[in-house]
Amino acid sequence: MRKVLVLIIACMIITAPAYSWGWFKKKEAPVSDNVMENPGYKGTLPDLEKDYKVPKEKVVTPIYESDEDFTDPSTLKPTPRDNPAFVNIILKSDKSSSYLNDVNDMIGYVEKLIDSIENQESDQLFIAKARVFKLKVDHLKKVYDGKSESYYASYRQLQKTGAHTDAVATLRQEAVVYKKYLAYQTTGSVYNPANIALQLEYLLSELQDTLMILKDER
């Protein structure tokens, strides 16, 4: 009887359906129907074609109107030569911009000396202005001596006029001190008012020539 029971159980195991073994297997996670539920990168992709696009031509409209029938030069505005920015940026010249600025600066000192002589200012005022002018001329020599600017007519004229001005200033300064002691000596004639006035006249003429050269240099 026991043998028969064992035989029956063996037959049941052999003939059991294959799916009955599924109970002994690990259940797998169900696959979602929405495969795009987590698509990944959601940003905007770069435009790879922008570097290859042909740029569009821009049309620029002039901010002024041309006048083909222009015949009156007097209507033109003068160029601002007294403005250092114009000299440094706009003016086209073979001279350095710094030198042109120095020339503009020297014009004022020359004009002050001319006014001093024409207005017959005192010895002290003339000597003070003459010394300042000579210091400015000496500064130019330190900056431009041996450079291309030292060959300009304005530079050479300033050096000449600076020496002449200093000599006349020294004459007037010595005259103030010595003329009362040399009044009765022949050597005192160099300090007499007539001679000093003549020397100032010569210097005035030279200063006026220098002023013209400086203005032409600009």
pLDDT of residue 28: 55
CA dihedral 102, 108, 113, 115 (to 10 degrees): 160
- The closest alpha carbon to 133, from 177, 169, 100, belongs to 169
Domain at 94-217: CATH code = 1.20.120
pLDDT of residue 64: 44
pLDDT of residue 111: 97
Low-confidence ranges of the chain (pLDDT < 70): 1-96, 182-188, 218
| Residue partners of 64: CB distance under 8 A and separation at least 6 | none
pLDDT of residue 112: 97
Distance from C-alpha of 2 to C-alpha of 6, rounded to nearest angstrom: 6
